[in-house]
């Protein structure tokens, strides 16, 4: 495999650029990306992220992500929607405008099941989608990684691993050498725009 490892002189920040955001390594396949991610993490790096054009199995575990917010938010919102929907129906039908139909109980719960169910699903789905978008910090039109060379391929056919400069173990040359030794096609610096 051809390894296009750029020389250290090539990673000097460009004149107009700002602070270094991190080092971006490009990998040829999902497997090499997962393996590299695992090794970088085992080398002690914490501030790392990977970019792929489709969800890669085991990748987030390899990088040590444990986030479980979305399922919990959806569960809580679902419970809220269920209780809220049922409570609202009860309040409307039994408190705000009690309607006596042939002496039947005002708490007509069997006929509230469909609407309660729909409220559960609606609350959970809306919260899940909003939660996913906001937890991911989206919408965010600009991010430093978009400036990485060839990053437009991250949404089509290439796989990237980024070690951020704010990681305490980050050292431009050592990190660069580590990434290159893991089979990266190229390693390039990413700068933060001013």
User: What does the binding site for other proteins look like in residue numbers (CB under 8 A)?
Assistant: 30, 37, 49-56, 59-60, 63, 65, 67-71, 74, 78, 88-89, 92-93, 96-97, 99, 101, 108, 111-112, 114-115, 117-119, 121-122, 124-126, 128-129, 131-133, 135-136, 138-143, 145-146, 152-157
The secondary structure of 116-142 as a DSSP string is: HHHHHHHHHHHHHHHHHHHHTT---S-
Closest listed residue to residue 67, CA positions, set 140, 156, 137, 139: 137
Residue 101, classed as helix, strand or coil, is coil
State which residue, 18 or 71, has the beta carbon closest to other proteins: 71
165 contact partners, CB below 8 Å, separation of at least 6: 19, 20, 21, 22, 23, 172
State which residue, 43 or 93, has the beta carbon closest to other proteins: 93
Least distance from other proteins to the Cβ atom of residue 7, Å: 27
189 beta partners: 23
Least distance from other proteins to the Cβ atom of residue 8, Å: 27
Least distance from other proteins to the Cβ atom of residue 173, Å: 25
State which residue, 155 or 181, has the beta carbon closest to other proteins: 155
CA quadruple 113, 114, 117, 123: dihedral sign: negative
State which residue, 18 or 150, has the beta carbon closest to other proteins: 150
- For 40-191, where are the E strands, in sequence order? 48-51, 159-164, 186-191
Q: End-to-end CA distance of the chain, in Å?
A: 37
State which residue, 9 or 68, has the beta carbon closest to other proteins: 68
Least distance from other proteins to the Cβ atom of residue 26, Å: 13
Q: What tokens does 7 get?
A: 């020389």
Least distance from other proteins to the Cβ atom of residue 174, Å: 23
């Amino acid at each position: 495999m051809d390894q296009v490892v750029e020389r250290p002189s090539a990673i000097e920040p460009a004149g107009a650029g700002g602070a270094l955001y991190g080092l971006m390594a490009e990998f040829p396949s999902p497997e090499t990306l997962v393996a590299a991610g695992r090794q970088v993490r085992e080398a002690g790096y914490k501030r790392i992220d990977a970019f792929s054009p489709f969800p890669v199995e085991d990748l987030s575990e390899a990088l040590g992500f444990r986030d479980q917010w979305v399922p919990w938010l959806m569960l809580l919102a679902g419970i809220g929607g269920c209780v809220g929907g049922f409570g609202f129906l009860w309040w409307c039908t039994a408190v705000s405008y009690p309607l006596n139909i042939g002496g039947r109980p005002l708490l007509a719960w069997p006929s509230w099941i469909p609407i309660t169910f729909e409220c559960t699903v609606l609350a959970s789905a809306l919260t899940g989608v909003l939660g996913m978008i906001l937890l991911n910090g989206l919408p965010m039109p600009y991010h430093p990684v978009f400036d990485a060379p060839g990053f437009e391929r991250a949404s089509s056919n290439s796989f990237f691993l980024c070690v951020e400069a704010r990681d305490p173990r980050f050292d431009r040359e050592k990190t660069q050498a580590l990434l290159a030794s893991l089979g990266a096609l190229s390693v390039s610096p990413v700068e933060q725009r001013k």
